[in-house]
């Protein structure tokens, strides 16, 4: 009876201690988390060593013109460097996030964000990245990088973010 009670007490204390464990599993890798909002994909990218290396060595964000999903020459150069990293590191899981500024309806911006993410995906695939490794997601205007209502903020919010895992 004492052994059963002791075992029950030990089990209960183990469960209870787990409920109060406030350790953040990402805390050791949060070198940039103290900065104000960064690229939306940052939290996902720091979850892996390769994601951290991607952030440190390659720009994970490209920007789009107003009401456009077309890739600029500058965006293509950034994506080319992403492709080099993806191939050199044998990346097999890529998420492309599409974002829009706050102007327009929620539905319109979700559709525009998806078009932007798909533009990046098409470019990656055209340059030899396996399409089965790429997932696209649109956040529309739901995850702004900058929350002010100015042209400079809107430019920063019209973006595509590449996340590698």
Tokens of 48: 């892996």
Q: What is the mean pLDDT of the chain?
A: 81
Q: Is 42 exposed, middle or buried (0-12, 13-18, 19+ CB in 10 A)?
A: buried
pTM value is 0.73
Complete domains list, the chain, with CATH: 28-164 (3.30.1330.60)
For the ranges 11-15, 22-26, 27-31, the maximum mean pLDDT occurs at 11-15
User: Which residues, listed in sequence order, are joined to residue 163 by a DSSP beta bridge?
Assistant: 95
Residues 44-101: tens digit of each pLDDT: 554 578 888 998 899 999 999 999 999 999 999 999 999 999 999 999 999 999 999 9
Q: Is 94 helix (H, G, I), strand (E, B) or coil?
A: strand
Report the pLDDT value the prediction gives residue 129, as an integer from 0 to 100. Answer: 98
56-89 core/surface letters (b: 16 or more CB in 10 A; e: else): eebbbbbbbeeeebebeeebeebbeebbebbeee
Least confident of 42-46, 81-85, 107-111, 144-148: 42-46
Strand 94-99, strand 134-140: pairing: parallel
Res. 4 pLDDT band, cuts 50 70 90: low
């Amino acid at each position: 009876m004492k052994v059963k009670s002791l075992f029950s007490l030990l089990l209960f204390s183990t469960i209870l201690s787990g409920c109060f464990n406030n350790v953040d599993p990402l805390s050791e890798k949060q070198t940039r988390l103290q900065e104000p909002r960064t690229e939306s994909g940052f939290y996902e990218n720091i979850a892996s060593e390769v994601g951290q290396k991607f952030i440190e060595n390659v720009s994970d964000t490209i920007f789009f013109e107003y009401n456009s999903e077309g890739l600029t020459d500058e965006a293509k150069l950034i994506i080319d460097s992403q492709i080099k990293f993806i191939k050199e590191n044998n990346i097999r899981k890529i998420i492309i996030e599409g974002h829009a500024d706050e102007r327009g309806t929620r539905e319109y911006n979700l559709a525009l964000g998806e078009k932007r993410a798909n533009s990046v995906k098409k470019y990656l695939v055209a340059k030899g990245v396996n399409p089965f490794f790429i997932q696209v997601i649109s956040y529309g205007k739901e995850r702004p990088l900058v929350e002010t209502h100015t042209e400079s903020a809107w430019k920063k919010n019209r973006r595509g973010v590449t996340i590698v895992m």
